[in-house]
Structure 1
Amino acid sequence: MTNQSIDWKAEAAKRKDDFLEDLFTILKIDSVRDDSKATKEAPVGPGPKEALEAFLAIGERDGFKAENFDNWAGHIEYGDGDEVMGVLAHVDVVPTGTGWETDPFEPVIKEGRLYARGSSDDKGPGMAAYYAIKMIKDLGLPVSKKIRFILGTDEESEWKGIKHYLETQPEPDFGFSPDAMFPIINGEKGNVSAELSFKGNAAGGTHKLVEFESGLRPNMVPQDAVAVIESENPSELENGFQDYLSDQPVTGDLSVDGNRVTVTVVGKAAHGSTPAKGINAGTHLARFLSEFSFGGDAKDFIQVAALYLHDDPSGSKLGVAHTDEVMGELTSNTGVFKFNVDKGGQMTVNMRYPQGTSEETIGKQIRDKVSQYAVEVNLPEGKVPHYVPGNDPLVQTLLDVYARQTGLEPSEQVIGGGTYGRLMKRGVAYGAMFPNSIDTMHQANEFMAVDDLMNAMAIYAEAIYELVK
C-alpha cells in the first residue's frame, strides 16, 4: 500500500467509535495537578498519575512498547531507526473553575461538540495523534525512523514531568506537539512570570482590605474575584459598586454584614497567552476598589493592579510592551491575585514575549514602573523564544500535508502559548484546532468539535508517515 493510495480520512472514520471510547476514558479522569496530594509515587498528584497510566495501558493493549518514567512522564514507541520523531502531548488539565453547564469530567457530545475539561487541551488532540500512529501500525506501513509518542503530566504548570523525562531520554531529533492549531505553530514566544509581593499592612483608610483573591493559574485569565473588606462606610461601597457594574463588562455581587463587606466580580476566562479574549475579574475588582480610601500595603496592592495591570494585554502600562516583526507583540496577563491582611499579598503577571527583549529587560522595566510602591518584584527563570524557520523540511512537510487534506493555503504562525514543541530544536506545534475552530481552552464549557478531532487524526497520520517512511 502506498501513501497515495491511502484515504486517510476514511481510515480515521473507521476508528471513530474506538477513538471516542478511549478518549472518554481519559477525559473522565480529573488530572489537575494537585501538589497537596503529591507523593513519591504521584509526584504531581494522583490525577495526572492515573491519566498517564491509563494512556500507557491503551498503548500496551494495542501492541506498542510503553514505558513509565516514575509517573512524571511516559512514552509509547513504534518503529526502529537511528532518528527519533517525537510527538509530545500532555495528560494534565487546568482547574475547572466555575460556570460549567455540564460536569467537566463527564464527557458529553452535544450537537457535534465534545464537552469536557481537556477535550481540546490536550487530551482530545493527544488521543487523535496516538490513533494516527496506531493507524500507521494497523496498516503495516514501513517506517525508517523511531516514533515516540511522549506524554507529560504537568504541562499546564512547571513542566517538571517532561524535564524529568529528558534527563534520562534523548531529545527527539524532530517532531511536533498536537497542542495548538493548524496550519502550524513554528514560533513560540518566551514565557516568564513576574511575582509582585506586598506586605500585609492595611491600616489607614476608611476601608480596610482583609482579603482579596482571584485566579487559579498564571496562564489563565481570572474569571472570578472576591474581596472582603472591613468598612466604616459600607453604603459608599454598595452605591459605588452598582455604578461600576452599570458600564463595565462584568457582573458581580456585594453583600454587607455589619461593617464587613464582601464583593465578588465575575469576568470571562481565557488562555493566558491571549488575555484580550478574556475579561480579568481580578483587575476589575481592583479598579473598582481603587476609587475608595484604603491604607498601607493594601492601598499599594490595589493601585498597582488598577493602574498598571488593568485592561493592558500588551503590557504598555507596565512598561514592558515590545513588538517583533516575525514574532509579534508581547502579551501580559495577571493570572493570580492574593492578599491577606496577616500574610501579605502577591500578584503573578505572566508575559509571553517575542525576540528582541529578555527576562532581564522585562524585570528592570517593571521595577522602574512600580518603584514608587512598596512592592518587591521577582522573576523566576522562564522560557526563551523558540523558532523553527519556515524553510525547514519539517515545517514544509507538515504544511504540505495540511494543504493537501484541507485544500487551504497554509502559512507560518507564531503564538504566545507554550507547547512541548519548543523542547526540540526542530520542534513545532501542529493542530488540532483549525482556523475556523472555536477556542475554548482554559475556559468553562471547554469543547472540541468531533469532526475537528477526526480530521486532525487523518492529518496527523499522513504527516507522521511522510516524516518517518
Structure 2
Amino acid sequence: MNLQEKVLNYKDEVVKHIQGSVQIKSVMEPAQEGMPFGEGPAKALNYFVELGKNLGFKVINYDNYATTIEFGEGEEVLGILGHVDVVPEGEGWDYPPYSGAIVDGKIYGRGTLDDKGPSVISLYAMKAIMDSGVKLNKKVRMILGANEESGSKCMDYYFKTLKMPQPTLAFTPDSTFPVTFAEKGIVRIKFKNNYPTLKDVSLAGGNAFNSVPERCELNISKEFLGGLEKALETYNSNKEFKIECVEKDGIYHINSYGKSAHASKPSLGYNSVSALFEFLKEVEIKNEELKSLVEFFNTYIKMELDGKSLGVNFEDEESGKLTLNIGKTTLKDGVLEVCVDIRCPVHVANDKVITNIKEKAEKYMEVEVAGNTAPLYVSKDSFLVSTLMNIYKDITGDKEAQPIAIGGGTYARSVTNGVAFGALLSSQVDNMHQKNEYLEIDKIDTLLKIYVEAIYQLAK
C-alpha cells in the first residue's frame, strides 16, 4: 500500500478543516472559568477535539490547556505537537483574517501557516495510516496546545502540572523545512519607567513580544514638540516607511509605519516603534522626561536588530547572530512598558545577555525579565534528525538540504527528544505573524506526503 498516494484522498477534507479552524479567532484573552487562555483558544482546541473524534481517534481534552488525539498500540510513543492559538491579526489584510477565504488557490487566514494548517495536515496523515491498517510499533499521539504564542503554559500544564509522560520522540510542524536541529535561546525583557509629566501623552505600538510592530501612534500636546514640520520633511525624504502627523485641538497625532514580521526574523520587517524614536531625535523636545526617553532609545536601541548598543551582539557558528526586536510598546497615564524579544545563539548563555542589558539600561529603566527559555540542540547525526532529513530529501528532491538552526521557539523545547520539522517549504513565502498569512492549496499535496511518511518511518 502506498501511503503517500492514499493520504492525498483526504485533501478536500484538509482544505475544509483548515478553513474551519482559522475561522475561530484564537488570540489569547483573559482567563474565564474552564478557559485558561480565554474563549477563542478554548473554542479552537475544541474544534480539533470534535474533528479528532469524528475521524475515529482516541481524544482527551486536558482542561482546555491541551488535548491529545491518538491511535495505535505500544509502550513507545511518537509525539506530534501543534498549537491552535495565534498571534493578533494586525491591520491591513486584503481578506478578512478569520475568513479562511480561498483566493487564487490560496487559503487566507491567521493560522493557516502557524500552526492550524500544519496541524490539520498532520492529523490527516495520522488518519491515512490508521485507516490503512498498517502495523506500527509505537502509539502516535498528537498533542495540541492553546498557548504556544504566549509562553507555552499549555505544555507546562500538560507535562509539569499533570505530569503526563514524555513521548519517546517527537516533532512539531511549526517551523521551516528541512529539519530544525537547533533553536536559539529566548529572553524576554520589559523596560519599565514612570513619567509623571507625560500622563497626558499616549504611545501605542505593536501587539506582542514576538512580532515586529507595523504601526506606532504617539498622541502628544503641541507644546511638547517644536520644529515638527521640518523634521517630517527631512526624515521622510529618504525613507520607504513614513512618519505622518495630524494636528487637532492642540494635539499632535503622530503615526509611524513599518512592516510586520516574526520577531525571530526581524530583518524581514521594519520596526515602527524604533523608527518613531529615530524620528523624534530630529525634533525639538520641550519636556525633560520625553527627552530622556528619546535619548534612551537612540543610545541603546536605534534601528539595530542585533543589540549591539546594549552590548549583546553575540553570534556562534551553528546558529548565527543574536536578534533583538522591540515588540509591544505602550505609554499610558505616565507608565511606560517596552517589550523586548531576544533570540540568543545556542552556545551563548541567556544569563550573560540579561546581565549585559541590565548593566547598560538600568540607569534609564527598570529591567524586568519576562521570559528566559533555554536553547534547543539535537545532534545532526541523531536518529530523529537523520530520518526526517532523508524523508524530506526523498520527497522534495532537494538532495543538498542541510539541517537548520532558527531563532524561533517551538514546542520541541517542551519534550526531551523532539525537533521542529516543517511545515514551510522553501518555495513558500514566510508570512507567519504578518498580514495576509496564507497557505497555497497546491503545497498541501507535498506536505501530506512528507508527514505521512514521517509518521510511518518514526513509528514503524
TM range, smaller chain? over 0.9
- The answer to whether the aligner puts 1:214 opposite 2:205 as a matched pair is yes
Residue 396 of structure 1 aligns with an amino acid whose one-letter code is S
| 1:182-197 → structure 2 map (5 Å cutoff) | 182-197=177-192
Look up the SS of the partner of 1:408 in the other structure: coil
Secondary structure of the residue aligned to 2:231 is: helix
**Most deviating of 16-25 and 147-156:** 16-25
Paired residue for 1:181?
Answer: 176
Match for 1:145 among 135, 138, 141?
138
Mapped pair 1:361 → 2:352: yes
**Structure 2: distance between partners of 1:310 and 1:92:** 32
Does the 8 A contact of 1:116 with 1:445 survive in 2?
yes
1:389 match: 379
Aligned residues of 1:124 and 1:453 also touching (Cα < 8 A): no
Query: 1: CA distance between counterparts of 2:350 and 2:396?
Result: 39
Does residue 26 of structure 1 match 2:21?
yes
Q: 1:146 and 1:346, CA in 2 relative to 1: closer, same or farther beyond 3 A?
A: same
RMSD: 1.6
1:179-328 matches, cutoff 5 A = 179-202=174-197, 210-232=201-223, 236-291=227-282, 292-328=284-320
Say yes or no: does 1:108 pair with 2:101: yes
Q: Find out whether 1:40 has 2:33 as its counterpart.
A: yes
1:336-415 pair list within 5 angstroms: 336-340=328-332, 342-371=333-362, 373-409=363-399, 410-415=401-406
What does residue 463 of structure 1 align with?
Answer: 454
Contact 1:191 1:383 in 2 (8 A): yes
> TM-score by structure 1 length?
0.94
Q: Does structure 2 conserve the Cα–Cα contact (< 8 Å) formed by 1:222 and 1:267?
A: yes
Counterpart-to-counterpart distance in 1, 2:73 and 2:289 = 61
1:112: how far off? 2.1
Partner of 1:13: 8
- In the alignment, residue 240 of structure 1 is paired with which amino acid? A
CA separation of 1:294/1:303 partners in 2, compared to 1, >3 Å: closer, same or farther?
Answer: farther
Tell whether the 8 Å contact from 2:101 to 2:109 is kept in structure 1 after alignment: yes
* Residue of 85, 95, 99 corresponding to 2:92: 99
For the residues of structure 1 that align with 2:226 and 2:185, how far apart are their CA atoms?
46
* Preserved contact between residue 183 and residue 346 of structure 2 (Cα < 8 Å): no
Closer, same or farther: CA 294–283 of 1 in aligned 2, 3 Å:
farther
Mind listing any 5+ residue stretches in structure 2 that lack a counterpart?
none
Contact 1:202 1:294 in 2 (8 A): no
* Structure 1: segments with no counterpart, 5+ residues: none
Moved more, 228-237 or 52-61: 228-237
- Aligned partners of 1:301, 1:174: CA distance in 2, in Å? 48
Q: Give the TM-score of the pair, scaled to structure 2.
A: 0.96
* Distance across 1 between alignment mates of 2:349 and 2:287: 35
Report the alpha carbon displacement of residue 225 of structure 1 after superposing the two structures with TM: 0.1
One-letter amino acid of the counterpart of residue 190, structure 1: G
Identical-pair percentage? 35
Deviation at 1:233, TM superposition (A): 7.3
Cα shift readout 1:354-412 (whole Å, capped 9, x = no counterpart)? 133223211221122235x4311121341111111011001111011111111112311
Separation (CA, whole Å) in 1 of partners of 2:295 and 2:205:
16
Q: CA deviation at 1:7?
A: 5.4
Deviates more, 1:239-248 or 1:413-422: 239-248
Q: Following the alignment from structure 2 to structure 1, what is the Cα–Cα distance between the partners of residues 364 and 381? A: 49
Q: Contact between 1:43 and 1:72, CA under 8 Å: does it hold in 2?
A: yes
Whole-Å separation in 2 of the counterparts to 1:103 and 1:380: 32
Q: Is the contact between residue 84 and residue 148 of structure 1 (CA under 8 Å) also seen in structure 2?
A: yes
Out of 245-254 and 65-74, give the one that drifted further.
Answer: 245-254
Cα deviations by residue, 1:295-317 (Å, 9 ceiling, x for unpaired): 34332322222332232111112
Q: Distance in 2 between matches of 1:315 and 1:159?
A: 25
Q: How many residues align?
A: 456
Residue pair 2:313, 2:322 contacting (<8 A) in 1 also = yes
Contact 2:84 2:115 in 1 (8 A): yes
How far apart, in 1, do the equivalents of 2:291 and 2:139 lie? 58
Q: C-alpha separation between the residues in 1 aligned to 2:313 and 2:181? A: 22
